[in-house]
Amino acid sequence: RGRRAGVAPLVRALGQASVALGLLAVGAARTLGAWRDRLPLQLATSFLKLVVMPGMTFAAARLLGLDPLPTAMAVLFMAMPTAATSYVMARAMGGDAPLMAAITSTEHVLAVLTLPLWLMLLLAL
């Protein structure tokens, strides 16, 4: 038990740093050329993730008669941008890592606009 107690803080610190390291990896992979080259695809996937998915979740929650709090939780969960770790996974699995970095960056920028809109809608319930 004594040795485990010493390892736990180290593992916890590494786990907390993983998101920050993922964001740094995404930022390092970004180039302006890649940003412009696939802009239509980035905008389309961002629209699907930040508008269509939460909208479908909102509609499903209303159809199911969910109370406002569970509805808000589900919609906000779906309205969050793609995790930075998706870039790390795409790279590790041989996927299109530059595209994933571009999508992740675009979604995080656009989420600054879309999340407040979803919050305003949900607070009006």
Over residues 15-62, the pLDDT tens digits come to 766 666 666 666 655 555 666 778 899 999 999 999 999 999 999 999
pTM exceeds cut of 0.85: no
- Provide, rounded to the nearest whole percent, the portion of the chain with pLDDT above 70: 75
Over residues 93-103, the pLDDT tens digits come to 999 888 888 89
- Reading the block at residue 67, the tokens are 């109370």
- Class of residue 79 by CB neighbours under 10 A (exposed 0-12, middle 13-18, buried 19+): buried
pLDDT the model gives residue 67: 96
pLDDT the model gives residue 121: 94
- Reading the block at residue 34, the tokens are 């890649």
pLDDT the model gives residue 84: 82
Indicate whether 114 pLDDT > 60: yes
DSSP helix/strand/coil, 109: helix
pLDDT the model gives residue 74: 97
Which residue shows structure tokens 């180039």? 31
